[in-house]
Structure 1
């Protein structure tokens, strides 16, 4: 690689995330092998305001860049100077993505091979306390003049890169980082590549942790390794910032997606990670409520609340709740008007529900109608059942289960296929207790609605009673026959 061109680059920007960052300064040092052959440095007018906190860090203010060239004026020089070179920077993804976005705004695709001196340093100079440019240079006695200015940081990075080249016999490490199938250039600078290689390709959850081992993101995946890597290919500012703060990745396999969803919800509740936006607050819950109106008719209506309920029979969208009301109305021959499916009418005239027996026009006795409403309410109560959901285990010798009692989620566990499980109480030794929340209830509600009976075994209560015989489900669960 003695004849290979390297463009060592540092940029200063306006801040505001990858997508909103504009260049205020750039420095490029062109190297042939370890020898410097050219240098280019300039301020750039970002055509936007430079925040005070950025000026405090870099010393670059709006007056300094007012008469500087704009990016279109220097783009050709940058493209030509780096055309045959490998793009080298300390935390390369930041500099590279900012520069690429500037070219993208001009309608051009900027693409170069990349090397990150953070990741190279971690590999070739292991065991240092910190790999930030300032502390790393202090550790190995590299002088930095004009810190947080493009030229000063680039000059220090050039010396660092020359040291790294001298430590890499036959360029084995650099060649491995540049290999077409290597993900080194896309990985966050502080994350050890071995952590990625060791990730399983199976369902489960993963936790991104910062340098203090604090969880900053919790996610679920059908394929943990594939999903984790996808974060680092995402060009969104949020994903980039997440990568910058990630030092460690933990994971837990679950064997199936349902368990992964439930465990993800539990970890978000427990750790309240910085980069998880969803599931931090309960959403709106809809309930079917009943009351007696002035005519003595039991009327059904939708109630809306944000309180967390335990019942998985709760509805998590107005559409679901309305659909259930329509089903009850048809099944029990109720009046759409008194199920709040129609308003401002004396006699019902629903476009689809036509089997009202006339309580609205007086041809059906109120007493008879109310008996039908009470039967409908009773059917709703029966839906708060005790049941077990069966799913795939983490390996072929076990199966997973989720336990719900009287509509309340209790937790999940794993049972060896050879275990003697005869009744519902026998699941308790294998049960990992979990807290029921809005989100776990919503997950289970959606699962039951979509998957139906094949994976679910219902019980009459939580005692030693066997499965409910009226359910059209399998009579064997984990080898049991009740």
Structure 2
């Protein structure tokens, strides 16, 4: 094992994320055991523009690489130096995937065993304030000249790796990391493998957290462990960036996919995670509202509101709300003009609804018209049902439930199957109160469309 080959590598790139990233500079130092036996450094023409930001970071500009070799011209040298060697880098998945991508563009499959000096350092040199290359070298008195240049970073990584080899003389940790069944090579640099091992293969939610414990991503899954691991095999820029900032992962088993969806929505609204896109924006639902105008006529209208004091039905799409309002007009012979279905101030002339009795032109009294409006409102309120959705629990002896009261989501809970329940109020002891939002409305309506009344228990 002492004579094993290690290719310590660093690349500088155009900085276009993990996909489409091109190399601007590369350095490879070949170690046999602890001894340097070869070295290769070269600028690389990326065949694309280098942005001012990258130039400011690395010092490499378009002029410097104009006459440098293109990747295909140094590919043979890279293959020669890395064949039979373990690919070693600080945050190895970045350098490895960039080089693998360059070879893929040439039609060549680049596959090597990998070791990450970030993960090895966290294991063998615990307690450091930071494991970034610059701060780690400063803490360990490792010289680092030419930061963010391939040769400078590689030379520092070589010294760091040599110390790691000395700290693991029997190669117990290194052999574990090289084991093909080990997740160490595929996991993000700061995440402990044990954190993955304890994840359950059950339905629930999971939370990615950064170094300070802040939630940066919330997700739901039928199989928490499987879904979490899939994030680290996804080569999208967003997934890669998420992995780089993840230090710990928390989870909560729900048993029910519906409860998981609702809980995921609550966590997104509460923590506003950096890497979530959907559901972050607080969206006011569409509501059928009512008010009395200056003539004393009770008017109906569609509006968006986070409060539901003067609303009688809630929708998550405007066309759905309009369709419901048109139904009311036809059923109760209401005026489209006074239901905000047309903006004209003259006699109503809706393309579909023709049975207005003339309130808009004074042919009907306000009192008679308002009586029919009140009947319409009563119908809507009767339709706002109260019920439980009964779902699977977290164990065989448990059930989960989602509570809807007068059409409004109140929360969820868990109850043992042998629990004595006499009245609706008994559920209050088990209910986790939640906020009714546009997103929870959408989740529940989607569930009902898919499942119907199969799991519904009327209150």
TM (norm. structure 2) is: 0.84
Change (3 A) 1:312 1:174: farther
Query: Does the Cα contact within 8 Å between 2:312 and 2:381 map onto a contact in 1?
Result: no
Residue 168 of structure 1, CA deviation: 2.0
Separation (CA, whole Å) in 1 of partners of 2:315 and 2:453:
19
Separation (CA, whole Å) in 1 of partners of 2:197 and 2:451:
34
Change (3 A) 1:203 1:299: same
Query: Does the Cα contact within 8 Å between 2:389 and 2:457 map onto a contact in 1?
Result: yes
TM (norm. structure 1) is: 0.80
Change (3 A) 1:94 1:144: same
Query: Does the Cα contact within 8 Å between 2:285 and 2:437 map onto a contact in 1?
Result: no
2:442 aligned partner: 442
1:176 aligned partner: 176
Query: Does the Cα contact within 8 Å between 1:284 and 1:304 map onto a contact in 2?
Result: no
Change (3 A) 1:84 1:328: farther
Secondary structure of 1:170 counterpart: coil
Separation (CA, whole Å) in 1 of partners of 2:42 and 2:313:
64
Query: Does the Cα contact within 8 Å between 1:410 and 1:435 map onto a contact in 2?
Result: yes
Cα deviation, 1:241-260, whole Å, max 9, x if unaligned, reads 11111111111111211111
Alignment of structure 1 residues 170-209 onto 2, 5 Å = 170-209=170-209
- Tell whether 2:147 aligns with 1:147: yes
1:471 aligned partner: none
2:420 aligned partner: 420
Separation (CA, whole Å) in 1 of partners of 2:449 and 2:377:
19
Q: For structure 1, which segment, 394-403 or 89-98, has the greater mean C-alpha deviation from structure 2 after superposition?
A: 394-403
Query: Does the Cα contact within 8 Å between 1:279 and 1:439 map onto a contact in 2?
Result: yes
2:295 aligned partner: none
Separation (CA, whole Å) in 1 of partners of 2:308 and 2:90:
50
Secondary structure of 2:171 counterpart: helix
Separation (CA, whole Å) in 2 of partners of 1:147 and 1:349:
71
Aligned Cα root-mean-square deviation (Å): 3.6
Secondary structure of 2:6 counterpart: strand
Separation (CA, whole Å) in 2 of partners of 1:44 and 1:234:
27
Alignment of structure 1 residues 357-372 onto 2, 5 Å = none
Separation (CA, whole Å) in 2 of partners of 1:312 and 1:257:
29
- Tell whether 2:32 aligns with 1:32: yes
2:10 aligned partner: 10
Unpaired runs of 5+ in structure 2? Answer: 292-297, 342-347, 357-363
Alignment of structure 1 residues 52-451 onto 2, 5 Å = 52-283=52-283, 285-286=285-286, 303=302, 305=304, 314-317=314-317, 378-451=378-451
Residue 51 of structure 1, CA deviation: 2.7
Change (3 A) 1:286 1:436: closer
Query: Does the Cα contact within 8 Å between 2:316 and 2:441 map onto a contact in 1?
Result: no
Unpaired runs of 5+ in structure 1? Answer: 292-297, 351-355, 361-365, 460-482
Aligned length: 446
Separation (CA, whole Å) in 1 of partners of 2:5 and 2:101:
23
Separation (CA, whole Å) in 2 of partners of 1:75 and 1:334:
78
Query: Does the Cα contact within 8 Å between 1:282 and 1:306 map onto a contact in 2?
Result: no
Separation (CA, whole Å) in 2 of partners of 1:72 and 1:20:
16
Query: Does the Cα contact within 8 Å between 2:287 and 2:312 map onto a contact in 1?
Result: no
Secondary structure of 1:36 counterpart: strand
Change (3 A) 1:146 1:421: same
Separation (CA, whole Å) in 2 of partners of 1:276 and 1:391:
27
Query: Does the Cα contact within 8 Å between 1:312 and 1:441 map onto a contact in 2?
Result: no
Query: Does the Cα contact within 8 Å between 2:121 and 2:131 map onto a contact in 1?
Result: yes
1:353 aligned partner: none
Query: Does the Cα contact within 8 Å between 1:18 and 1:237 map onto a contact in 2?
Result: yes
Residue 14 of structure 1, CA deviation: 2.0
Separation (CA, whole Å) in 1 of partners of 2:53 and 2:241:
18
Secondary structure of 1:453 counterpart: coil
Secondary structure of 2:18 counterpart: helix
Residue 116 of structure 1, CA deviation: 0.6
Separation (CA, whole Å) in 1 of partners of 2:46 and 2:333:
67
Separation (CA, whole Å) in 2 of partners of 1:306 and 1:76:
64
Secondary structure of 2:102 counterpart: helix
Q: For structure 1, which segment, 182-191 or 309-318, has the greater mean C-alpha deviation from structure 2 after superposition?
A: 309-318
Separation (CA, whole Å) in 2 of partners of 1:203 and 1:401:
15
Separation (CA, whole Å) in 2 of partners of 1:299 and 1:133:
67
